[in-house]
Structure 1
Amino acid sequence: MPVVRDGRARDGRARDGAREGRPRPVGDRGAPAPDAGRAGARRRRAAEGRKRRARIVGGLAVIALVVLVGAAGVWAFSAFRGGPEPAADFAGPGGATVVVAVQPGDTAEQIAGEMADKGVTASSAAFYEAALQNSAITAVQPGYYRLQEGLPAADAVATLVDPAARVGQIQIAEGRQLHDTTDVNTGAVRKGIYTLISEASCAVGDGVPCVTYQQLDEAGAGDPAELGVADWARDAVSRVPDRDRQLEGLIAAGTWNVDPSASPAEMIRQLVTESAELYESTGLLETGANSGLDPYQVLVAASLIERESLPQDFAKVARVILNRLAIGQKLEFDSTVNYALDTTEVATTDVDRGTVTPWNTYASEGLPATPICSPGVGAVQAAENPEPGNWLYFVTINAQGDTLFTDNYQTHLDNIQKVEGGFLDSGR
C-alpha cells in the first residue's frame, strides 16, 4: 500500500476509496461498509504489530547500549590493571628504603607507574585503586619521597601523603655560601650549601647512604660543563683560581628538590642547571644595556649587593658598584675580604684588608673573581637595573641597616662618625 503524505499517494493518485471521484462505501450511521471495516481492521492490527515490534527492538537497542558502555568501562579499567583479574598487591611488611620521584604535573596513573617501577607496590593498578580511595593524594606536591619496597598499595598511598615521607628538599637563604663559615664574634658555624645538601641526603635513612660534605666539595671542583654551568658563565668559571670555589653563586637562593639517592655530581648539576634557568628568567642575558656588565659579572655584583645591604638599598648599592668600576676606583667592600677568610664579620682589620686574594676588593680593582654568595632574585634584578645616581660611597651605621650614601669623600668620613655603638668594630 502506498505511503500517504498530505492526502496524496506517493504515486500521485488519490486516497483509496476516493479514486476517480467515486464515493466511499458507508454503512449505518456513517460507519465503514463491511468490506472496508475488515480491511481497516487488518490494517490496524498490522500497524499495532509494527508498533509492538518497534518498541521491542528499541528496548533491546537501549539494553545493548548500556551493556556496551558498561563493557567498555570494565575493559578500560581492566586494561589499566593488566587484565580482568584483581590487581597484584603485596601483603607487606615493607622492605628496603627507596626514593620515589613525583614530577610536576604527574597524574595518579603516572605516580602509580613510578611506584611499581621502584618495587614499592606489586602493580601500578593496585596503587591506582588505593589512590582513588584516599582523597589526600590530590595534595601531593612534586618532589622526592621515602618509601619501602613491598608495601601493600593502601600503605604506600598512606605513606606518600604523609609529610614526613618527603625528602631531598633544600632551603637556601639569600647570602648563603657553598662552604661553612664561622662567625668571628660568636664562633657559631653557618651551614654552607654543601652541608645543606648532605643533610637532605641523610634524611632518607636505611638503604640510601648519605652524601658527605667532602664528596660534594670534590664533585663541585669538577668539569664545569659536566656540572651544568651555563654557557654564559663557563669561560669565567674555567678561570677561577680556586676550583673548590668555582661554583660559588651558581646555586641560587630558594627552595629546591634534589634526589637524595643521586650521586654528588648529579645533585650539583641539577641545582646549577635549575638555578641558571631562574637567573635567566630575570632578564640576565639582556642586562648589558642597563649595567654594561656581562651575565656572570651581574651575578658577581648581585652577590656583593646581597652581602652589603638590605633590600631597600639594593639598587643604590648597585649604582655605587657601577660608578666605581666606571672610574677605576676600588670597590673596597669588607664582605669580599671576609669571603676569602671563610669568616663572617661586618668589619675587618687592617691586616685582613691588606691580604691580597682574588676576592679582596681593597687589594685589587674591579670585581672579585667569583660571586661571594648566592644572591636572591631581588639583588640580581638590582644589579640589572641600578638606581640612577652619582653615589660613590655608602656606610651602614647600625644593626637595623640604616645606610648613608654620598658622592663626596669628606661627607662619607662624616657619615662614618655616625656609626652607632661600635657597630663596625672588628672582633679579631
Structure 2
Amino acid sequence: SALTVSPALTNARIDALLVQRFKMEPGSFERAVNDLVHAYGLGFGEGWLLSGSYEVHTATPAVDLARQMYDAMIGEIQRNLGSPLLSLYSIEELLIIASLIQAETQNPTEMAGISAVIHNRLAIDEPLGIDASTRYEIGDWHSPIPTIALETQSPYNTRRKKGLPPTGICAPSPEAVKAAFYPEARDDLFYLHGVDKQIHYAHTYDEHRENIRRYR
C-alpha cells in the first residue's frame, strides 16, 4: 500500500498516521523506531528517518515503514559524504541540523541559506534560537509557546542552550539533508520569514531588527 510521509512529520505523528491508515496499535511505529535505534547503536530515532513516498506491507506497516525510511536516509547520507563539514560534525549532528532546517521551512530554495545561519551560529557558540525544537519538546506545533517553556534550561530550548538539541525534531526531506551537509556560502546570523512571503537574512542584529520592522 502506497504511503506518503510528508516532510517535518515527527515519529509520533507518523505513528498516528499509521494507526489511522492501517488500524495499527498506537505506539507500534515508535517501538519499531526504537528497535532500529538499539539494533544500529544510533544516538536517537527522531531525525534518522527520511520523509518521502513508500510502499508499505499492510501486515507489518510499522516495522516495514521504519526500516524503509531508515534505509532511505542511509542512501541520502551516502550521496552527501563529500561534504567538508564531516571534519567538524558527526553525521548525527548534521541530521539534527537537517531536521531543524525542515522545521523552519518547507521551501527547498531557502534550506541552504537557513543551514548557513545555523552553521554560522554554531561556529561562534551563539544560541540557535529555533523555537521549533521547543515546540517538539512540548508536543505543540500550533499554539503560542508558553513563556515558561522558553525560559527553562531544557536541552531543547535553543534560545537559552547553546549548541544543538540532543535529537532531531522531525523527518527531514532529501533537500534538507543536502542543505545540512552543504550550506550556502553566506555570513549571516539571522533570518526571518516576512509578510511578503520572502526570507530575509541579516548579518548583524541591527540589520535583523530593521528586517523585523520592514517585513513583519
TM over 0.5: yes
In 2: Cα distance, 1:404 partner to 1:363 partner:
23
User: What number of residue pairs does the alignment pair up?
Assistant: 215
Q: Percent identity?
A: 23
Q: CA deviation at 1:362?
A: 1.1
| 2:29/2:66 contact within 8 Å kept | no
Partner of 2:16: 195
Amino acid at match of 2:52: G
Contact 1:334–1:347, Cα closer than 8 Å, also in 2: no
- Counterpart of 2:26, as a letter, is Y
Give 2:10's aligned residue.
177
Correspondences of 1:27-426 after superposition (within 5 Å):
167=1, 169-179=2-12, 192-202=13-23, 211-222=24-35, 224-226=37-39, 229=40, 234-235=41-42, 237=43, 246-262=44-60, 264=62, 266-267=63-64, 269-283=66-80, 285-289=81-85, 292-309=88-105, 310-345=107-142, 348-398=145-195, 401-420=197-216
Distance in 1 between residues matched to 2:36 and 2:5, nearest whole Å? 24
In the alignment, the residues of structure 2 paired with residue 401 and residue 394 of structure 1 have an alpha-carbon distance, to the nearest angstrom, of 13
Deviations 1:176-232 (A, max 9, x none): 1111xxxxxxxxxxxx11122333433xxxxxxxx2122333443346243xx4xxx
RMSD: 2.4
Rounded to whole Å, the distance in 2 between the matches of 1:290 and 1:403 is 27
Pair 402,271 (structure 1): closer, same or farther in 2 beyond 3 Å: same
Contact 1:335 1:346 in 2 (8 A): no
Give the CA deviation at 1:312.
2.0
**Does the CA-based 8 Å contact 1:178-1:373 persist in structure 2?**
yes
Please, what TM-score do these two structures have when normalized by structure 1? 0.46
State the distance in 2 between where 1:387 and 1:351 align: 34
Deviation of residue 306 (structure 1)?
Answer: 1.2
1:347 CA displacement:
5.8
Structure 1 residues 263, 290: CA separation in 2 closer, same or farther (over 3 Å shift)? Answer: closer
| Unmatched tracts of structure 1, length 5 or more | 1-166, 180-191, 203-210, 238-245, 421-428
Which amino acid counterpart does residue 68 of structure 2 have in structure 1?
Answer: L
CA distance in 2, matches of 1:269, 1:390: 37
Any conservation in 2 of the 1:392–1:406 contact (CA below 8 Å)? yes
TM-score scaled by length of structure 2: 0.87
For 1:394, what is the secondary structure of its paired residue?
strand
Report how far residue 355 of structure 1 moved: 2.5
Whose Rg is larger? 1
Q: Over residues 229-280 of structure 1, what are the superposed CA-to-partner deviations in whole Å (9 max), with x where a residue is unaligned?
A: 4xxxx35x1xxxxxxxx3112221100122221274x335523442233322
**Equivalent in the alignment of 1:162:** none
Offset, 1:418? 2.7
Check 1:223–1:386 CA distance in 2 against 1; reply closer, same or farther (3 A cut). Answer: closer
Contact 2:120 2:188 (8 Å CA) reproduced: yes
Residues 290/385 of structure 1: CA separation in 2 closer, same or farther (3 Å cut): farther
Verify the 8 A CA contact 1:334 1:346 in the aligned structure 2: no
**Partners in 1 of 2:108 and 2:18 — Cα distance?**
27
Per the TM alignment, residue 367 of structure 1 is displaced from its structure 2 partner at its CA by 0.8
